[in-house]
Structure 1
Amino acid sequence: MKSAPRRGPTGLRAHPDLGRTRPPCRRATVQGRPASLLEGRFAREAARFHASRRRSAERACTSNGNERASGESGSASGGSSPQKTKAGSSSAPLSQSTFIKTDSRVVAIGDLHGDLQKTVAALKLAGVLSVSPDGAPVWCGGDTVIVQLGDILDRGDHEIQILHLFLRLKEQAKLRGGDVFLLNGNHESLNICGDFRYVTSGGFLESARVAGLPPEMAGRFQAQLKARVALFAPGGPIAQELANSYVALQINDTVFAHGGIMPHHVDYGLGRLNDEMSGWMRGEEGARSPIVAMGSPDSVLWCREYSREQWNTQVDRGRSCALLTKVLSELGANQMVVGHTPQERGCNAECDGKIWRIDVGMSSGVCNAAAQVIEIQPPAEEGARSQIRVLRAEGAYEAPLSRRKGMTG
């Protein structure tokens, strides 16, 4: 007799991948300031930032809808960045900036899952974050381009604060020739769908505070739940901010996605995926959740085809690498960078360096591993390959890691 499918708290059918056991994690000693102190350091600045965005949104909602703020044209990456409206939403389809050329250094950051301390550690490893005397985050990365691969949400207490930290840094980076690009992960899509099973008590409390609930209400779970639904439902304030994040992005010869790009995703169109996800999150009339992006184990946000640290057989490895090679060839790219699946040995590469897996499980809600990021230097000349190295507290290394060669990270 078949058992009934598991369902989330909202009655939605659970994704088949959710039943899988998370791989064992390396435990890392947490160093530096406690998260509570980091929260205090940035909380005031984050509150001011969110309040300013909320006031801008309110002004936009009361306007005639035709008045637009003039966003900055162009970007550090040499492509056309989406312009910003007063509400902080994109006035140009994301498909217009899905493929970007840049001469700048690119740093990719994996899953963060609500851990502010590890987010700060990752940004400092990237060399783009400093703190002003009054505790405000300051971009110090010049023309560096940051790509965060999704899963900011769930498993940690400071999700929205992290999102607004990245948005604030993006504003500063663009003034200095840099940029910050965010991708959506499967946990972003879960929250937009109203599936809050991985939200921590601190995450619910943060939602209540961001929604502006008075202290006497913010501590009540029902009020917290209603606040989170209002923030994250399609068209809600946080959903509209996430609507500016990508499903897939290509910078020079490197493709970025949370789970992975399969051949049928290329056929469907990466720009189309970005626009459909964005429209759904904005709550546009007639918009539906894009199945190709988030609806099955081989969708962009859930794919683990390229993330296995050890394939069952060499035939399986060959199949995955062949699929990857086909995708990269069709996109004119040399490598792909993915998150989603925690890697016990840290950031590593497979398939002769064509796939980089950079989810190291750094959040205290996942593996509590030490922060790592990868740095991508642009190709030296047309047709050349970008140079990639891993940045970590112990130092950097450039050689792709391979279990087959007996190397560990």
Structure 2
Amino acid sequence: MPEITQAESGSGSEAATDFHDGPYVILNDARQKQAHWICHRRLITTEVGTTLQRPEHCGALPQPTLFGPYAIDNDHFSGVKTLVALSDVHGQYQVLISLLRAHRVIDEHNHWALGEGHLVMTGDIFDRGPEVNEVLWFMYELDRAARAAGGMVHLLMGNHEQMVLQGDLRYVNDRYHVSSDLIGRPYDALYDSDTEIGQWLRSKNTLVKINDMLFMHGGISPEWLERGLSIGQANDLYRKHIDDDKADIKANTLLNFLFYKGGPTWYRGYFKSELDASQIDALLKHFGVNHIVVGHTSQTRVLGLYDNRIIAIDSSIKLGNAGELLWVEGDTLLRGKYDGSKSPLISD
């Protein structure tokens, strides 16, 4: 049963609309978990069990089964037969669900249907769109279900995850400021390390190598080769410093490179004619892969560059109209279209 109900926020017709959000699972001062729900613009706080119970008359908000503590996953996988990847959902939950259903990654009840396959989301769930929290909890539950089926969900850190966790809220959808005000926490603090989703996110990698493919959000500049970093070292540095002040990160040469200058969450050099084929080949050789897969830079479809050595999977899902995914079956690279059809990935 609900423990706390606070007064309605807002005025006029806007306050009377069906505004629902949550849950936000946060440790209280006694280090006990509480779930905060926004139901018709009222804050309701409930106790937390293994499965969260949504308050009555609160729309269709997620009722996740919590499965922490969250182990740090490997960042190298081989022998994966079916691999699906997409990026930059930016709170467009309905487009995400439609796309995954069309390709039978999930079933009609939104349950994992890919068996032992792997799904990679290369960052940028946060910001812009109106259903960020729904996407987060959906991916959270899919993470648990995929493991149970022998598969995996890889949620990689993008620049917008980085921005929100570090308090850069320029692109937060206006509706989340309402939730933030009602709960009494800044929006970024709703994902601090004392929250369920915050702990889960902080366990995730920024880069993952699967078969002969390296996945990340933005890209990696050739400067990486001069620094000699491994994938594991980079992932460890991201997890260790994600909550550092921006000024401190920028003052450190290595961290500034990783988090901003030429690192895997922000780099866009593959799309600016900055690199020739020999530089791309040097990067591939360094990591022992045949393809680097990135989001971050918007396209109208899944796009192959440099003879498919670089694969761009930000298909503009953030616009809320449609999207594509990358489907990999063995050595076959396919564009997974919004209607569920597939076509060979032909490099531009």
| TM-score between the two structures when normalised by the length of structure 2 | 0.74
2:105 aligned residue: 128
Distance 1:151 1:192 in 2: 12
Instruction: For residue 337 of structure 1, give the secondary structure of its aligned residue in structure 2.
Output: strand
Task: Tell me what 1:254 maps to.
Answer: 213
- Structure 1 position 397 matched with structure 2 position 343: yes
DSSP 3-state at the match of 1:181? strand
Give the match's secondary structure for 1:147: strand
Question: Structure 2: 5+ residue runs without aligned partners?
Answer: 1-16, 34-65
2:165 aligned with 1:192? yes
1 CA distance for matches of 2:208 and 2:103?
19
- 2:326 matched residue in structure 1: 374
Q: Deviations over 1:160-190 (max 9, x none)?
A: 2211111101111111111100011111111
Deviation at 1:236, TM superposition (A): 5.1
Q: Is the 8 A contact 2:191 2:198 kept in 1?
A: yes
Instruction: Give the alignment's Cα RMSD to 1 decimal.
Output: 3.1
SS in 1 for 2:154: strand
CA drift at 1:129 = 1.5
Counterpart for residue 63 of structure 1: none
Once the two structures are TM-superposed, the CA of residue 321 in structure 1 deviates from its matched residue by 2.9
Pairing 1:107–2:62 present: no
Partner of 1:355: 310
Q: Residues 106 and 145 of structure 1 are in contact (CA less than 8 Å); yes or no, is this contact kept in structure 2?
A: yes
Of 251, 260, 264, the match for 1:295: 260
C-alpha displacement of 1:255: 0.5
> Residue 89 of structure 1 aligns with which residue?
70
Counterpart Cα distance in 1 of 2:102 and 2:336: 6
Question: How much does 1:387 deviate?
Answer: 1.7
Instruction: State the identity as a percent.
Output: 24
Q: Hey, what does 1:4 align to over in structure 2?
A: none
Whole-angstrom CA distance in 1 between matches of 2:157 and 2:286 = 23
Which structure shows the bigger proportion of residues in strand conformation?
2
Deviation at 1:119, TM superposition (A): 1.5
Distance 1:350 1:98 in 2: 24
Tell me which residue corresponds to 1:407. Answer: none
Match of 2:151 in 1: 178
Distance change >3 Å, CA 234–CA 262, structure 1 → 2: farther
In the other structure, the counterpart of 2:75 is 98
Change (3 A) 1:235 1:269: farther
Local SS of the residue matching 2:95 = helix
Deviation readout 1:209-262 (Å, 9 max, x if unpaired): xxxxxxxx62xxxx66x3413223466544322212221110010000100123
Name the structure where helix makes up a greater proportion of residues.
Answer: 1
How many aligned positions are there? 290
Within 1, Cα distance between the matches of 2:188 and 2:306? 41
Matches of 2:121 and 2:307, distance apart in 1: 23
> Contact 2:92 / 2:320 at 8 angstroms: preserved in 1?
no
Bigger mean CA offset, 182-191 vs 319-328: 319-328
TM-superposed CA distance for 1:157, in Å, is 1.6
The residue that corresponds to 2:46 in the other structure is none
Q: Report deviation, 1:203.
A: 3.0
Residues 316-374 of structure 1, C-alpha deviations (whole Å, 9 max, x = no match) = 5xx34322211111111001110001013x111011110111101112xxx34422001
Aligned to 2:296: 340
**What letter is aligned with 1:304?**
R
Please state if 1:239 is matched with 2:198.
yes
For the residues of structure 2 that align with 1:142 and 1:54, how far apart are their CA atoms?
A: 34
Contact 2:207 2:231 in 1 (8 A): yes
Sort the Cα spacing of 1:320 and 1:154 in 2 relative to 1 into closer, same or farther, 3 A.
farther
1:204: which partner in 2? 177
2:7 alignment counterpart: none
Partner of 1:159: 132
Task: Answer whether contact 2:166 2:188 (CA < 8 A) is retained.
Answer: no
TM-score (norm 1): 0.63
Change (3 A) 1:322 1:233: farther
Give the Cα–Cα distance (whole angstroms) in 1 for the partners of residues 88 and 220 of structure 2.
17
- One of 257, 268, 277 as aligned partner of 1:321: 277
Between the aligned partners of 1:293 and 1:237, the Cα distance in structure 2 is: 26
How far, CA to CA, are the matches of 1:329 and 1:256 in structure 2? Answer: 15
Query: Structure 1: where are the runs of 5+ without partners?
Result: 1-35, 61-84, 209-216, 379-385, 403-409
- How many Å separate the matches in 1 of 2:290 and 2:231? 17
Deviations 1:96-138 (A, max 9, x none): x111113330100111001111111232234221244xxxx31
Tell me, in whole angstroms, the C-alpha distance in 1 between the residues paired with 2:193 and 2:177.
18
